[in-house]
Structure 1
């Protein structure tokens, strides 16, 4: 079963809260529901207590998909990471979520506007061995809670490139699944359909955003930060950039789960409801063309 969700970063940014900071959560949820979105991931404007969050989502008829969790497995072991994630785990379980979105944020630069992407952290061989072992152990602990760890490769972090995604997947156990993000892998220089096909059996969650290649080239040439590139419009919604979405979907013929529109832009330049509607319409068209069936 395939369901279409959205991330509130389309309306209000988490890494730079002033982007869309004036847009209330009510507007985000009501516009998402009107577009046809079935569920939302967490954002900075969402309450993190189940008693407060449940009536908000229920009022809009939206499910909770899940939400980002920053891991620091290069700095602490799986047991300490699990303890740090306890409240998030409990919230996800309360709402019947099935995936735990994790991204390693040790030394990350993606949230620092003054740091160019060229300054991102790169792991040593010893750090790779440590990270993969701890990520596997953390994922196995989460499986015991009924949650599947889906790892979010991301620009500016230690797992950014196609080669790094491959190394992580090769070095971790089956409890670790991949959150495949079409925009991050494309901007990092990877070929989205190829990477999707290579890891199809372990892809447990999908984020869809598109890339404007001319902005990505300018960002590389001028050594921009991640946030400066986002503000300049490097990302957009599916069908408004260079990603081959039909190719990606055909590479994942047996995929079942959430497909989440997560296209961070400056809402002053890209009206959120207009762009998410565009992305939703393009996405459903691509799904039909690729033979994907919605549940």
Structure 2
């Protein structure tokens, strides 16, 4: 089985908490992640939106664009609005050979608002969830027809956060909207990480290997503290530096035959947790567990499209 290892630039520059950002260029971010062994990087705010500009940067760094976040609003807004907004991103991702666009629902979400406590996350009724899941499926089918598959990201503070919410979304949606599985977000939400992989493996097309510091999470006052407070306190980290058993997690993916990207998305203070050092820690642990699970990790980065 083959696997690819990527990173998210959120370890270098946090798009929601700008103060948790390192003053490095895109080129330096790519250089550091590649030197640690990663061959992919998801899109962040310092990436150009012109493929003619992005491709030479990726080629020089020997790094592939392995995904990127789209802020979806389908829980509140119409398909047409989201189609118009995502269309340029689809064309960009096709031009640089990215595998998918990460759909993150920001409608009603509290994930980017530090003033709203975790306990005040939005909740959908059963009928609302069913309608939402159907709508997202239709959007995913349209994006795939346009040449770029989506990957739905369950997320803290959003309408699909908990294990039961993920189960309800997956039940109401269809194969037209694949799943991004994020171990750290589900663990933060109190979900059964290994059980969820068993349930939903057939729809998983992208994986975020985010670790957590469960001591930080358990110490939160969810009636007062927000998701971004948790990030600032260090709730997330790279595999090998946190609480989760990634040997068991990666083995579970191997058991189900998953092949594709495993992306480290570990937002934390880069001054307290230097991104290059954390990238090296994460890559070392991932290579250990990948080898134990029988994965062959690809070492080629940029491939000319």
Bucket of the pairwise TM-score, normalised by the shorter protein: over 0.9
Match of 2:151 in 1: 150
- Whole-angstrom CA distance in 2 between matches of 1:222 and 1:275: 31
1:239-277 alpha-carbon deviations (Å, 9 max, x no partner)? 211212122122222111111011111011111110111
Q: What is the CA distance between 1:78 and its match in structure 2?
A: 2.3
- Pairwise CA distance, 1:21: 4.8
TM-score by length of 1: 0.96
Structure 1: where are the runs of 5+ without partners? none
Question: 2:77 maps to which residue?
Answer: 76
SS at match of 2:243: coil
Find the counterpart in structure 2 of residue 60 from structure 1.
61
How do residues 34-113 of structure 1 correspond to structure 2 at under 5 angstroms? 34-113=35-114
1:276 aligns with 2:266: no
Matches within 5 A, 1:132-147: 132-147=133-148
Match of 1:262 among 262, 265, 271: 265
Does the Cα contact within 8 Å between 1:192 and 1:243 map onto a contact in 2? no
Report SS of the residue matched to 1:273. Answer: helix
Query: What is the distance in 2 between the residues matched to 1:98 and 1:240?
Result: 28
The 8 Å contact of residues 5 and 39 in structure 2, kept in 1 or not, is answered as yes
Deviations 1:148-194 (A, max 9, x none): 22100111111111111111111101111110001101111012111
Q: Deviations over 1:46-82 (max 9, x none)?
A: 1111122112111111111121001111222223321
Equivalent runs, 1:1-295 vs 2, <5 Å:
1-220=2-221, 223-253=224-254, 254-295=257-298
- If asked which structure has higher relative contact order (CA below 8 Å, sep 6+), I would say 2
1:177-228 residue CA offsets vs partner (Å, 9 max, x unmatched): 1100011011110121111121111110000111111100112466311111
Aligned length: 295
- Larger deviation: 17-26 or 254-263? 17-26
State the TM-score, normalizing by the size of structure 2. Answer: 0.93
State the distance in 1 between where 2:204 and 2:39 align.
20
Name the CA distance, whole Å, in 2 between partners of 1:127 and 1:170. 13
8 Å contact 1:193–1:244 — kept in the other structure? no
- Out of 33-42 and 125-134, give the one that drifted further: 125-134
Q: How much is the aligned-residue C-alpha RMSD, in angstroms?
A: 1.4
Aligned to 1:66, the other structure's residue is in SS state strand
Partner SS for 1:219: coil
